[in-house]
Each structure stands twice: as C-alpha cells, then as structure tokens.
Amino acid sequence: MRKFLMILMAGLATAVMGSAGAFAEPVKVGFVYLTNPGDHGWTYAHEVARQEVEAHFGDKVETSYVENVPEGPDATRVVRELARQGNKIIFTTSFGYMDPTLKVAKEFPDVKFEHITGYKRSTNMATGNIRFYEGRYVQGVVAGMMTKSNRIGYIASFPIPEVIQGINAFAAGLREVNPNAEMSIIWVSSWYDPVKEADAAKVHIAEGADILAQHTDSPAMLQTAEKAGVFGFGQSSDMKAFAPKAQLFSSVNNWTPYYISKIEQLMDGSWSTGEGPDHWAGNTWKGMADDYLVLTPFENMPADVAAKAQGAADKIKGGMNIFTGPLKDNEGNTVIGAGEALDDGGLWGMNYYLEGVLGKIPG
C-alpha cells in the first residue's frame, strides 16, 4: 500500500510539474491579418485586440502577427510557419482563411486554431464571430428616418451568408420606420478596395441615394459621402476622423474579450471547440449585449432620430430577435411567418433579400 501511495504521489508531482511547466515560458500567440493594420477598419480592430491581449496578460504571452496575407494557398504557408515557430494558439482573421486553417490544424494536432467568421472546425480548430448584423439593423432605423430621397446605397463585398444577414438586418430596420424606403446593392467583390468602394459610392449617389452603408473595410465610402454632402456609417472601427460631417455612427468590432477568453482557456486547459458539431451554437458568436459589437455616439442627426436609434440598440441588447415575422422577401413571399423568429441556423441559410432590397443575390 505504501509503495502504491508513493507511486501515486510521484505521479501527481509529475503532473503538477508538467502543468506548471506549461506556464514557465510565455504562451506564444499568432495572428494572421488580411491587410496592414493601419488606423481603421477590420484588421485594425484585430490589431487593437492583440495589443490589449498583451496588456492583459503581460509577460505571460508573446504575440506576433503576419500582415497582408492573401486568402488562398499563401495563407496555408503562413499559418503553417506560425505553427512551426511554436505558437500554441493561432487566430486567422478572415473568412477566406478557413480551408487553409483547417488543413494546417490537421498537421499540428497539439496547436489550437481559431478561425474568424468561418463555419468549418476540427478537434483543435474552433470558430469565432461577431453578430455584425445587429449594428446594421440600427443603421437601417437611422437611415429610414434620415433619408429624404427614400433611396439607400449599400456597398457589399461577397454574397456569403454573413453579408446577406447584414443587408437583410439593415432592410428590417429601414422598413420598420419607413415602408417607402428602398435599398440598392452594389457588389465590389472585395473586402478592401478603396477605389472600387469610392466608385460604388459615386454610382449610388448619382442614382439618388442620400444615405450610404457598407460591408467593406475602407473609409472611402464615407469620404465620398462627405464630399457629396450625404450621410453614411463607418464599419469595423470608428471612422469619424475620415468624414466628421457624414458619419452618423460606426459599428465597432471588439475582439478583445474573445481573444482573452480563448487564451485563458488554453492556459487553464479548458479550451474546446464547443458542443455543436456543425452549427454556430457550439462556438462563439456574440454581439451588442456582450459588447463584442459597440456603436459609437449617434451624431449628425436630429434628437428624435438619435433617441429612436438608442431605443433600437437597447432592444437588441435586451434580446430582441431582429428577424421576427411576419417578414416577406423582395418577391412578396412570406419567409418568416407571424409569431415566428429565425434561429441561428436560419440566419446562416439566408439566400434571399427581404422586402425593400432591390435586385437579386448574385449567383
């Protein structure tokens, strides 16, 4: 019995030493960025969070990032190199990194991977996202009350569910306060292309739009709006500095709590991909109620519009489901019946425009 206890104690000591050893050196954390972080937009928001991770953990972590990584085969090389460099957890921050991340995750089973905005996962690859569409609903409410022409110009990137959700959330808010307003969509097939975004904004304005919105990454749309004397919304980070007279508010992505929580889980051994096998329910997808999405102050609008916007934001934080029926698509078909509400699976299956959106989704 005594021999058994000694063996057991020795085993426990080894386990404790092993656990402590895992924290003896800083945990290496890698990030893959689509563009240069700069001072605005999608990648900038991730960079802000990375810096706050360093401030939070101090010398317990060592972070690094690779910028200007194209979506595609080159991303595989970059992610693999970060794994070889000893990073214990790697955040890949664009939808197009999904398959490259999955491929490298299978090669490095002891490394944790976090893919942003995707839906594929494995035993060591989780997914994380923000409910961006919630801010766009509030944008729609403001646009519906501010527009004089009843024409809204929307600049979209790629026809994937995340972008369709945003368009439809905007339309739901727009038509809730102004049933006569309509949205026109221009697809630029890019997340970040200031020239294309500016050109698209000019087309929208020429066609009568007096409010602009975007699911792209540069301030070009807002700068174009400022020159033309119309209004718009910033995206991913506060873009007021680029168009102080045109910005109504910005929807700001706050990745800090997500990054910190996942690194803490890695450190304490509780990291997992969640319970859902192929559905968002198992992974991180939070929004305004959890401060993952933050709205800047409402500006350049009358007090009654600001009050309505604040009311819409409060309702979302209180748990309101934006997509509660009855709602029709833009061909008059009922897509969400009276008393029904879309769940997360339905959100990711959206393949239609709601009433008020002109045109069809590109095939």
Amino acid identity, position 244: P
- CATH 3.40.50.2300 domain range(s) in the chain: 27-130+255-286, 132-252+294-349
Beta strands across the sheet bearing 151-156:
182-187, 151-156, 211-214, 231-236, 247-253, 293-295
pLDDT, tens only, 229-266 = 999 999 999 999 999 999 999 999 999 999 999 999 99
Q: Any idea which architecture 132-252+294-349 has in CATH?
A: 3-Layer(aba) Sandwich (3.40)
**Secondary structure (3-state) at 224:** helix
Provide φ and ψ at 123, rounded to 5°.
-65, -25
Q: Is pLDDT at 290 greater than 50 in this prediction?
A: yes
> Using CA atoms, how far apart are residues 127 and 120, in angstroms rounded to an integer?
7
- Tens of pLDDT along 345-360? 888 889 999 999 999 9
pLDDT given for residue 363 in this prediction: 80
pLDDT on residue 121: 85
* CATH fold group of domain 27-130+255-286: Rossmann fold (3.40.50)
The pLDDT score that the predictor gives to residue 7 is: 38
Mean predicted confidence (pLDDT) in 177-198: 96
Provide the percentage of residues in the chain whose pLDDT is more than 70.
Answer: 91
CA atoms 94, 128, 313, 335: torsion sign: positive
Single pTM value for the model? 0.89
**42 closest CA partner among 114, 98, 94:** 94
Q: Is the pLDDT of residue 295 over 50?
A: yes
> How does pLDDT run across 200-219, given as a tens digit for each residue?
999 999 999 999 999 998 99
CA distance 27 to 98: 23
Confidence at residue 349, expressed as pLDDT on a 0 to 100 scale? 87
Task: Decide if 325 contacts 334 (C-beta within 8 A).
Answer: yes
